[in-house]
Copies of this chain bind each other. A is one copy, B any other.
Amino acid sequence: MLSRLLQPEIRSLLDARDFSTLKEVLSEWSPTDVAELISEFAESEQALIFRILPRDLAADIFEYIDFDLQVSLLKGLGKEEVAAILNEMSPDDRTALLEDLPGSAARQMITLLSAEERKIAVTLLGYPEESVGRLMTPDYIAVKPEWSINEVLNHIRQYGKDSETLNIIYVVDEKGKLVDDVRIRDIILASPGTKVSDLMDENFVALHVTDDQEKAVGVFKKYDRVALPVIDKMGLLIGIVTVDDVFDVAEAEATEDIHKIGGVEALDEPYSTIPILNMVKKRAVWLTILFIGEVLTAIAMGYFENEINKAIVLSVFIPLIISSGGNSGSQAATLVIRAMAIGEITLKDWWLIMRREILSGFSLGCILGTIGFLQVTILANFIGTIGEHWVLVGLTVGFSLIGIVLWGTFSGSMLPFILKRLGADPATSSAPLVATMVDVTGLVIYFTMAIIILSGTLL
């Protein structure tokens, strides 16, 4: 808001080349607002604005701008300026930048780091992708159990400036093993002579460095923390993860699930900036798989060509029939996928869910079956496209819908369980995939029903 409001003023300062006033003004803004402002200017000016900022502020701002703009700034700035920014950045935000850069560019950036920062960067990038290690920062405050509150406060005053958070202080033993966490509130509320050990309850929650980031989201949500310590397999404290990064992970995961449910491979890049060729590739994969799956419908239709030939009226209801199966399957799959993603249901609930979904599917089938029969009645009596055996056709459509909606609901709800059991992502059972699977069986159910009900009259 601020940035858009004041953009004309900033522009006139920039045009007048009044860099000292510009520097003074921007230094008072929050890094987020400056980041937003910069993104509104032309590329050449972005580097210009960046260059006049104090270096620590520049690094802060750099953490808040989008990856694409980060890359263009890295290109526009001088080597020395880039080095200054990279060395000043929080290690976790730097990891996020480096892991998205092409390998050669990332290596080049790493050579610009100081020995100390390079060691940190390389260690963090050494953890597996999507692991907690990649979200971690080693900037935290650790104290010893035998310290007094006074010592703790002095330690914080000395080393707290670089810490990512001061909300929680970690307690480690002489070997560096995490033994507890203490909230800053308890330290402030304690009298200066109290020992850290008096505040300890030896009850703490920690993430393991190789844990999946998805697990971290669950732990943060469950314990309502703003930061969590990260330990290695020996129990040594090696870093912390803060809630803002976990928030971003949770959002990215929801996006991935939504894309999969919609039948797109996870884009892994923002929709608004992904190159169109990459996006077409990602979308073409699933569309082609689904298309080839749908060939089964052409084969099934070929198999029933004889029935269609005798009773063309049957073909009229094919789109209606198969889409109802697809829609009910999409509903069931979506509900189950999301409930699994947020931990509401697990694999062991399959039996409970199956019973519930069969009951739901049957009820929904009866509702649509009844409406279907009524529609045939209306079409027959007011539009007259169905012919003399409209009651039988109506019954065929109605009973088929019960079967198809029941089957769609059943398979839509069970497919995520099967995929999860096989170790795949349940969200892969996208709405379009379920719909495609149900299409073929829907046709078989419909024509079988037609042969049973119409044989002797239309067939």
Q: Which residues of A contact B (CB under 8 A)?
A: 28-30, 32, 153, 156-157, 160-161, 163, 166-167, 183-185, 188-189, 201, 203, 205, 220-226, 243-244, 247-248, 250-251, 254-255, 257-259, 261-264, 267, 270-272, 276, 279-280, 283-284, 286-288, 290-292, 294-295, 297-299, 301-302, 305, 308-309, 312-313, 315-320, 322-324, 326-328, 330-331, 333-339, 342, 344-345, 349, 356, 359-360, 363-364, 367-368, 371-372, 375, 379, 383, 385, 405, 431-432, 435-436, 439, 443
Chain B residues with CB under 8 A of A259: 334-335, 338
Give the chain B neighbours of A262 by CB distance below 8 A. Answer: 261, 330-331, 333-335, 431
Summarize A's interface: helix, strand, loop or mixed.
helix
Stoichiometry, copies per complex = 2
Report whether B247 and A258 are in contact in the complex, using a CB–CB cutoff of 8 Å: no
Given A264-B335, A280-B364, A302-B385, 15 additional A-B pairs, CB 8 A: A166-B184, A166-B185, A255-B338, A261-B261, A261-B431, A287-B368, A288-B371, A294-B320, A294-B323, A298-B316, A299-B383, A301-B315, A305-B315, A305-B385, A323-B435
| Chain B positions within 8 Å of A342 at CB level | 251, 255
- What are some 30 contacts across the A-B interface (CB < 8 A)? A28-B201, A29-B203, A160-B188, A220-B247, A255-B342, A261-B431, A262-B331, A263-B330, A264-B335, A272-B349, A276-B359, A276-B360, A280-B363, A283-B364, A284-B364, A286-B331, A287-B328, A290-B327, A291-B371, A291-B372, A294-B319, A298-B375, A299-B379, A299-B383, A301-B319, A302-B379, A315-B315, A318-B318, A319-B443, A326-B432
Return the contact of A334 from the options B261, B320, B326 (Cβ within 8 A): B261
Neighbouring B residues of A244 by C-beta, 8 Å: 221, 224-225
